[in-house]
Structure 1
Amino acid sequence: MNAAARPIKNIAFDMGNVLMTFNGPYFATRFSDNDQDAALLQAAYFGRGEWALLDSGTIGYPTMLRIAEAHLPERLWPNLHDMAAHWARYSEPIPEVNDLARRLYEQGYNLYLLSNAGTRIDEQLDHCPAYPLMKGRVVSAEEKLMKPDPAIYELLCKRYGLVPAECLFVDDNADNCVGAKVAGMQAFHFTGDVAALAAAIGVSRQQ
């Protein structure tokens, strides 16, 4: 944060690889018994450009499934269907970030979720420790807006009556942080260093 920045009152977290793991290659290994098939499943589902259309709300999960089927041998369709239905159970909380979010909540910060994700995001959030502490959320597929479009950050602020300059947005994608700054928010590019995140907010890493 620069010296002229306004005090932070609100913190908006991305979900994938900030609060919860998102690792398509790992998920695929849970639904196959060899590395070759796992690689095919990953490439056909999580690895396709159409995944961004799913996150944007442009297509739905049945369409994503049909696209993936078209790029897999039919023998792997049962594995694909099982993976599509259940991969979210293997998305795990990132403990140190969730612990930091809890401490921030206890210190009076307002917490929000701002994520590029599909309409089934609650299958991950239902085991995210920090999510019950949050005052609201903006999810790309639900809004038909995606980061780094400044409009999605502006929507968060308008919906919950937030002053953008008093908000810190945390994301593992640097471009998404740029979008937040264009919208008038402060931003932190998260690369796994929880101590640096805590220091940017102005709190100790542990309490």
Structure 2
Amino acid sequence: MVNIEHVIFDMGSVLMTFDGPAFSQAFTENEEDANLLQDALFGRPEWALLDAGAIDHATMLRIAKAHLAPRLHPALEACFEQWPEHSEPLAGVCELAQKLVDAGIDIYLLSNASTTIDRQIGRCPVNDLFAGRVVSSFEHMMKPDPAIYRLLCERYGLHAGSCLFIDDNADNCTGAEVAGMQSYRFDGDLGALERTLASRISLLRP
């Protein structure tokens, strides 16, 4: 196995929390309304179109409003505007990313996210440490399409085989492998991730 020289992070559920039901609860007064808001916004299939850059934010909001009772439109508008402020860094993974940089390993971001990604990733302690990033909505392609992983490699001059991609989604990890990268599916077990990185990156070994 080729030694890892670059580590590529997904954002949601890896570096930052993404929890649509929890975001919805923050802007509603009861569980029933929270569920309705979740279904109309984060649970809509069009949310993926927003991340793909196929629709804009105004269109997404109109679609959500069409699937939600008017009495909840103020809550919807507030949630749509402010939910990134409720996304929190996953401290352990962020600390691990910092250790990688301190050890001389370049880190990159590869995320399926909308054009307002900076309102979320800007809250991440390692945001300024990325050597580069690729975001789906700006490129009009998404994980797990191998093309988006190849784009990152071409843009930053990386050899795919020396890259480790970390994502919480198994399909996205498979897409990385098709593109020639190594991958790791993060399931929340920080210790397992640390051990994997230590086993594949010589600079992290004792």
Q: TM-score, normalised by structure 2?
A: 0.96
For 1:48-92, what per-residue CA distance to the aligned partner results, in whole angstroms no more than 9, with x for missing partners?
111110110000110000000001111111111111100100000
Q: Aligned pair 1:92/2:88, yes or no?
A: yes
Rounded Cα–Cα distance in structure 1 between residues aligned with 2:192 and 2:31: 36
- The residue number in structure 2 matching 1:124 is 120
- The residue number in structure 1 matching 2:171 is 175
Give the drift of 1:111.
0.3
Rounded Cα–Cα distance in structure 1 between residues aligned with 2:152 and 2:191: 26
Unaligned runs of 5+ in 1: none
Unaligned runs of 5+ in 2: none
Rounded Cα–Cα distance in structure 1 between residues aligned with 2:173 and 2:38: 27
Give the drift of 1:104.
0.6
Give the drift of 1:11.
0.3
Q: TM-score, normalised by structure 1?
A: 0.95
State the secondary structure of the residue aligned to 1:157: helix
Give the drift of 1:199.
1.4
- The residue number in structure 2 matching 1:147 is 143
1:153-168 matches, within 5 Å, as: 153-168=149-164
For 1:96-130, what per-residue CA distance to the aligned partner results, in whole angstroms no more than 9, with x for missing partners?
00000000110010000000011111000111011
Aligned length: 202
Give the drift of 1:34.
0.9
Residue type of the alignment partner of 1:79:
A
- The residue number in structure 2 matching 1:44 is 40
Q: Aligned pair 1:200/2:196, yes or no?
A: yes
Give the drift of 1:131.
1.3
Rounded Cα–Cα distance in structure 1 between residues aligned with 2:126 and 2:186: 17
- The residue number in structure 2 matching 1:62 is 58
Give the drift of 1:142.
0.7
Tell me the C-alpha RMSD between the 2 structures. 1.4
Give the drift of 1:200.
1.3
- The residue number in structure 1 matching 2:24 is 28
